[in-house]
Amino acid sequence: MIFHEADKANGLYMVAKGKIKVFKLSFEGKEQILHIYGPGHTFGEVPVFEGTNFPASSMTLEKSEIIFMPRDKFVGLITSTPGLGMNLLADLSRRLREFTIQIENLSLKEVPARLAAYILTLSDEQKNASKVTLPISKTQLSNLIGTTPETVSRILKKMSASSYIEVKGKVINIKDLDELEALSESGSLS
């Protein structure tokens, strides 16, 4: 664990090596992953600016190196380096846009559309329109898109049977990008 929800935000963090998740837990123990970050990504900034507590928890997903910057040092650095502040605002704005899309997907789209949208997001991130590698387990993926691991497996099989994709372990070959994009909007597998 890096921090728990409601802990006082006394600084921000950056992933130097490895992978972390930011998540919320329901009273029943159901996990909803909000973000997964790798090297170079900062997290925990917003409550640092507000002087409040963390609104979610974070933990490593693999062996990681995390850099911690105390709040006073961070605020001093932002004050003395306006360009850094602008870059941080751009990054926070990008994440807000991603979060808006995630909320839209979770509340308005069916699971097949959410899974297709995630594969397309990976395709963009990995800059490869024909093949992506899942950076997380199917359990973590199911928590990210708001479903169960069994449902993820079942939908991946249906997408494979429909010749949209081909799954080989963590590698997903995209066989029909147009149909995958249509599925991410409609949510219905033919």
Domain range summary for the chain, segments of one domain joined by +: 11-81, 110-186
Structure tokens at 36: 């997964």
Mean pLDDT lowest among 36-45, 94-103, 120-129, 171-180:
94-103
Q: What is the mean pLDDT of the chain?
A: 91
In the chain, % of residues over pLDDT 90: 66
Query: What dotted CATH number matches 110-186?
Result: 1.10.10.10
pLDDT surpassing 90 at residue 47: no
pLDDT surpassing 90 at residue 69: yes
Task: Say whether 110-186 and 11-81 share the same fold.
Answer: no
CA distances from 63 to 15, 17, 23, 54, 92 (A): 11, 8, 18, 23, 26
| pLDDT mean over 32-44 | 91
pLDDT surpassing 80 at residue 101: no
pLDDT at position 92: 85
Q: Enter the pTM of the model.
A: 0.72
Nearest to 61 by CA among 120, 141, 181: 141
Gyration radius from the chain CA atoms? 18
**Class of the CATH domain delimited by 11-81:** mainly beta
Identity of the amino acid at 80 = S
Q: Give dist(CA 174, CA 123) in Å, integer.
A: 9
Mean pLDDT lowest among 40-49, 123-132, 170-179:
40-49
